[in-house]
Amino acid sequence: MFNNTHLNPTRLAVMKKLMNFAGKTADAASAQSGIEEALLNYETALNASDTHNVMAVFAPDGVFMAPNSPSAVGTDAIRAAYNGIFQAITFDTELTVEEVVQVAPHWAFVRTNSKGHVTVNAIKQRVPDANHELFIFQKGTDDAWKIARYSFATTNPLP
């Protein structure tokens, strides 16, 4: 049986700090894992033109900020935005996570890059697609990480 009465106060304080650090490191690893899983689900849904599963990774009060469009705020607006996107284009893209930074127990930001192709459905033309993205994730009451805010911009050169 462990008895901490044999430890001097300095050693005990150091051990408590190390245990606290280990707990925070485990929490950060858990956050990164949960966020990367949500991003994989998002990528899969995006490539499948699956609005239902895109919505599964967004927080109910999420905000989607696409270039040249007004912000889509909340479930109904985000659903409508993705329905419109999937009607216009089909994705074949891959997200790469560049950094995950947990800034609070229930908040993190994520920077990604994506590259691949989109097919313009109206003319069946496949074109290169590349973006950099910024996600803000929120951990919900169900302990699942959800996209709270999402914005992106193309990294393709101008024509």
Please write the tens of the pLDDT for every residue from 13-31: 555 554 554 445 556 788 8
- Tell the burial category of 75 from Cβ atoms under 10 Å away from its Cβ (0-12, 13-18, 19+): middle
Helix (H) or strand (E) holding 52: helix 51-56
> Which pLDDT value is given to residue 25?
55
132, pLDDT greater than 90: yes
Between strands 145-154 and 125-139, the pairing is: antiparallel
Q: For residue 69, what are the contacts with CB-CB under 8 A and spacing of at least 6?
A: 81
> What mean pLDDT is reported for the chain?
89
57, pLDDT greater than 50: yes
Q: For residue 103, what are the contacts with CB-CB under 8 A and spacing of at least 6?
A: 109
CB 114 within 8 A of CB 139: no
Q: Record the tokens describing residue 13, joined without a space.
A: 């304080």
Q: Output the pTM of the full model.
A: 0.82
34, pLDDT greater than 80: yes
